[in-house]
Structure 1
Amino acid sequence: MARIVVIGAGMGAMAAAARLAVAGHRVAVYERSGTYGGGLGRLARDGFVFDTGPGLLHLPAVYRDLFVKTGKESLEQSLEMVQVDPAARHVFADGTSFALPDASRAGVVAALDAAVGAGAGERWSELMVRAREVWDATRRPLLEEPLRPERVGPLGQDPYPAPRRRGLLRRAAPATLAQVGARELKDPRLVALLEGHALAHGLDPRTAPASATVLPYMEQTFGTWYVRGGLRGLAEALYERCRARRVEFFFGAEAVDVVEKDGRAAGVRLAGGEVIEADAVVAGVAPERLAALAPGAGQPAGPVAAGRFSVFLALRGARPAGTAHRTVVHAPDRAAELEGVFGARGGTAHLPTVTVLRPDDAGTRPDDGHEAVTLTATVAPQGRGVDWTDAATAAAWAQRMIEAAGAAVEDLGERVLWREVRTPADTERGTGAAGGGVPAPVLAGAQGAFLRPGTATPLPGLYRVGGFAHPGGGLAHAGMSGALAAGLIVEGAGFRGSQ
């Protein structure tokens, strides 16, 4: 039985802790804040409840596997999950709108043909067929296996296939997601649909590799899921699973140093000076914090990721029957938006793409005469052309998002009882991530520019988990990172990933 110290109680860290405990190790988690779950936070006020992080789950199989491997109760026995259908409604500045059914290729084709024009659905469907080739080529080496130096080169090659044209051989594959959209979709609404998936993950479609087509493919193929009472319930279920496996949690306990002995990680030193000895250390923290904890860990800083701005709205009036759970209101000027979010100067001069979440869930509202609505937008990180700590700036941006969301929520301005906001500056304070950046999932291609540091660090005995480690950001990817860390600790350097 080894002694394992886990720094942080985020989803990747808890996923690793549960798996390590089941393997017979003694696991202790040290979290500097007062709670668990990392980005899966909750805001509760006056009977309204909001997720302050992700509101939907994709690739639920990751957590199904985790719960199967760590206890008798399945994921569905531990919480109530519902499939969201339609997966999303999309609204465009020209008045076009359509709802895409969940996990239904034929339904998506029909919806796009009806709203955009004959042939639109087939063009999208053909794109998803090519995206499936990306998924098949990269699922295991990119998501399920530890990232080793010899794999970086091959994963730097983009597996997205170039389409054939009548009478022609395959042309050169597009280098970026934006080029995929321009060449293969053509219609600006379909292009916005494709690029919107990248933007939601904090990726710039002008620089993201063509392999980013795998993002809408995964959502369309494996479905979109919601947890009754809010996605915070997933964090609660995983925390309880860890406790059932006798993982110890210490909150308000900040690790300030990774202790080294004989050239390997041998524990952590807490803020009060106490040293906790361990045979291995798992760090679920942002790169900046890991660099401070273990300067020899070799964590490259990389570019600051895009941030996320959220507005939580308590509304008077009932949620109308038939309302879509998720509506994406697309920006009228995509080029201006991308420059504002990802450009060197950044800023807030553009109008944003706003995702509107309206769950049909009595657990999120005080009664049926009210509604809890969450608005989110991808924005420039703190300090890139905008100071999100400035109250006037944050308030003005929140109002701009509310005005945009009016295209999805009837009489929105008149229904607001109160609102609260979360900015990238709040994220930076809570996580230590530079600029409050939210990490994106890893992608193949672009010579490895969209990969994350591997699970194992240059310091033996120290392992990374969470969105800033391989295989990147997102709830499902966090769960995968925990599986990789546990596998390397239990099986050693020969671990090849889940089967």
Structure 2
Amino acid sequence: MGRIAVIGAGMGAMAAAARLAVAGHRVVVYERAATYGGAVRRFERDGFTFDTGPGLLPLPAVYRDLFVKTGKEPLEACVELVQVDPSSRHVFAEGTEVDLPNASRAGVVTALDEALGAGAGARWGDFLVRAREAWDRTRRPLLEEPLWPNWSVLAEREPYPSVPHKKLLRTRRATTLAEVGAWELRDPRLTALLESHALAHGLDPRVAPASAAVLPYMEHAFGTWYVRGGIRELARAVYERCVARRVEFVFGAEVTGIVEKDGRATGVELADGEVADADFVVAGVAPGALDTLVPGTALRGGDEIAPQRGAPSRLTVLLALRGGRPEGVAHRTVVHAADRTEELDRLFGERPGFSSSPTVTVSRPDDPALAPGAEHEAVTLSVTVPSGLSVSEADVEGVLGVAERAIPGLRDRLLWHEVRTPADFAEETAADGGAVPAPALAAADGGLLHASNTTRMPGLFVVGGWAHPGGGLPHAGMSGALVSGLIVEGPQFRGSQ
């Protein structure tokens, strides 16, 4: 078997490394930082512990499969998974609140009817049925198979079966997520609920394809899960599985170039001048970082999918609170923007900036390990913001003001707070402006597809959120499986069956 150099120790890169090591390859991971996990990091201070990246795990089957395929211990033997219920609480602009049960269509329908009025639940339930059809049509090509050579089929075909909408003498079908909300859900609160799923992934619902309906469907169908101790524990478990499979990690090792011979990748060059030979190179880095490693453009382009360059980032505010976590508090509360149009214009308009009243996601895990004692609580606030945005203290104060709608008396309880800006995400991930990649979606002329895991340079593969099938914890794990299959089985690999 061959020698494989992996650049970066993000979740997708580690998933690929573990699978390749089990297949008999000698795998060495070179990570410029002092730790593993990529964007899945942890911040600790005064006995408080916070996830600074993703806080919840959708579609845990991806990592269950990774652990089954790479060892005898299943995922649940390495981390404790907890199904979050309610899945989320939503606080709408006009003050209505609703708790949505986890993975229960009947429960969600009932909750929406009680909170928003009769008929609201049925409209959302019918939407989920159509979203499932979109999921069934796109699951394999978007998540389980290498990117098709004829990817344009995915780009042109809208898989969401929208309901015909009559307006004057014309009949139209929704092509964007915003149109799905306006024409099929017909309630500004249901529309806000739908669009919040796109916003959480940095997508503008006004232009995101109707196929983005799969995002709320995935959460509904497969549940929302928390890893006891924080998502960083999942990164630890994957790292330890790699080590158990004899993957070698070299931290503090910055790769400055990919060695090429006769047009093929044959190793990596490190900042200290060392050259590590390899039969294959797997790069788990953002496109801008890869540009500096390879002369010319190695990623697919032209008539193929070019790498995505640019996406919104995240502002994360970590709160250390006096007073314990009250009973009945939801793990995740989404406080919706008072003015969604203003928020979207500030996020995606020609002059990006910070919204005066953004959508804020409040994370309050029921996990004693995160606070120094029962008399304290660790809370995380997350906001989607333009990449590269400079965040002021006034911006942070605005976020705290919005969060008070979910945490009454917040400022009286506040011991201290830490702010993680797009610049911090850029430092951790080397993504331009701290951009966070979105998952791949069909339609939209291919604008939300990601570059193939193979490249124009034989022997060089790309993995992680900036490659097919895109961003998010499940998608990172899937990219690792795809890259492993392409290396082990060759170009004929067609994904898991």
Q: TM-score, normalised by structure 1?
A: 0.96
2-structure distance, mates of 1:237, 1:148: 32
Q: Which amino acid aligns with 1:399?
A: E
1:276-425 equivalences under 5 Å are 276-294=276-294, 295-298=296-299, 300=306, 302-382=308-388, 386-388=389-391, 393=392, 395-425=393-423
Q: Which residue of 1 aligns with 2:454?
A: 456
Q: Distance in 1 between matches of 2:307 and 2:411?
A: 41
Q: Partners of 1:21 and 1:137 in 2: how far apart?
A: 33
Counterpart AA for 1:18: A
What amino acid is the match of 1:449?
G
Residue 262 of structure 1 deviates from its aligned partner by 1.7
1:231 aligns with 2:224: no
| Partner of residue 473, structure 2 | 475
**Partner SS state of residue 362, structure 2:** strand
Structure 1 gaps of 5+ residues are: none
Structure 2 residue aligned with 1:146: 146
Equivalenced residues, count: 488
Specify the SS of the correspondent of 2:29: strand
Kept after mapping to 1: 8 A contact 2:18/2:245:
yes
Distance 1:429 1:63 in 2: 26
Change in CA separation of 1:164 and 1:340 when aligned onto 2, cut-off 3 Å: closer
SS of alignment partner, residue 162 of structure 1: coil
User: By how many angstroms is 1:312 displaced?
Assistant: 0.1
1:392-446 C-alpha deviation (Å, 9 max, x unpaired) = x1x2211111110001112101001000011111111222211111000000001
Secondary structure at the counterpart of residue 387 of structure 2: coil
CA contact (8 A) 1:328 1:354 kept: yes
Matched residue, 2:463: 465
Per the alignment, in what secondary structure is the counterpart of residue 318 of structure 1?
coil
Q: Does 1:272 align with 2:278?
A: no
CA contact (8 A) 1:6 1:28 kept: yes
CA deviation map 1:364-405 (0-9, x unaligned): 0000000000000101111xxx434xxxx1x22111111100
The equivalent residue for 2:303 is: none
For residues 345 and 439 of structure 2, what CA distance do their matches in structure 1 show? 21
* 1:337-360 deviation digits (Å, cap 9, x = unpaired): 001111110112431000000001
Letter in 1 for 2:324: A
Cα offset for 1:171?
Answer: 5.5
For the 8 Å contact 1:162–1:171, the answer to whether it is kept is: no
Bigger drift between 12-21 and 291-300 goes to: 291-300
Matched residues in 1 for 2:219 and 2:26: separation? 37
Q: Which moved further from structure 2: 427-436 or 253-262? A: 427-436
Judged with a 3 Å threshold, the aligned counterparts in structure 2 of structure 1 residues 289 and 303 are, in CA distance, closer, same or farther, namely: closer
Counterpart residue number, 1:486: 484
Q: Which residue of 2 aligns with 1:442?
A: 440
Q: Separation in 1 of the partners of 2:239 and 2:380?
A: 25
Partners in 2 of 1:26 and 1:460 — Cα distance? 19
Shift of 1:165: 8.0
Q: CA RMSD in A?
A: 1.3
Q: How many angstroms does 1:152 deviate by? A: 3.2
Give distance in 2, aligned partners of 1:430 and 1:215: 26
Superimposed CA distance per residue, residues 44-67 of structure 1 (whole angstroms, 9 cap, x where no aligned partner): 110000000000000000000000
1:254 maps to 254
Provide the C-alpha distance between the structure 1 equivalents of 2:355 and 2:220, rounded to a whole number of angstroms: 32
Q: In structure 1, what residue type is equivalent to 2:55?
A: G
Does the CA-based 8 Å contact 1:3-1:26 persist in structure 2?
yes
Offset of residue 154 of structure 1: 3.3
Q: C-alpha deviations, 1:280-334, integer Å up to 9, x for none?
A: 0000001001111113413545441001000000000011011100000000100
Which residue is 1:216 aligned to?
A: 216
Q: Supply the AA of the counterpart residue of 1:41.
A: R
In structure 2, do the counterparts of structure 1 residues 109 and 90 end up closer, same or farther at CA, with 3 Å as the change threshold? same
Match of residue 40 from structure 1: 40
**1:125 match:** 125
Q: Which amino acid aligns with 1:177?
A: L
* Equivalent position of 1:137 in the other structure: 137
Q: How far off its partner does 1:172 sit?
A: 4.0
Q: State whether residues 163 and 174 of structure 2, in contact with CA within 8 Å, keep that contact through their aligned partners in structure 1.
A: no
Aligned to 2:437, what secondary structure does the other structure show? coil
Change (3 A) 1:347 1:165: closer
Which segment is superposed worse, 76-85 or 140-149? Answer: 140-149
- Percent identity between the two aligned chains: 64
- Kindly indicate whether the alpha-carbon contact (under 8 Å) linking 2:307 and 2:451 is maintained by their aligned counterparts in 1: no
SS of alignment partner, residue 310 of structure 1: strand
- What one-letter code is carried by the residue in structure 1 that aligns with 2:390? D
Q: Is the alpha carbon distance of 1:233 and 1:171 closer, same or farther for their aligned partners in structure 2, counting shifts above 3 Å?
A: farther
Q: What is the SS of the residue equivalent to 1:160?
A: coil
User: Residue by residue, what CA displacement relative to the aligned partner does 1:166-220 show, whole Å, maximum 9, x if unpaired?
Assistant: 9xxx964311100110000111000000000000011000110000000000001
Aligned partners of 1:171 and 1:45: how far apart in 2? Answer: 58
Q: Distance in 1 between matches of 2:434 and 2:331?
A: 27
Q: Which whole-Å CA distance do the structure 2 matches of 1:413 and 1:468 have between them?
A: 38
Which ranges in structure 2 are unaligned for 5 or more consecutive residues? 301-305
Tell me, yes or no, if the aligned pair for 2:308 and 2:466 is still in contact at 8 Å. Answer: no
CA distance, structure 2, for counterparts of residue 448 and residue 156 of structure 1? 7
Partner of 2:97: 97
Contact 1:49–1:364 under 8 Å retained in 2: yes
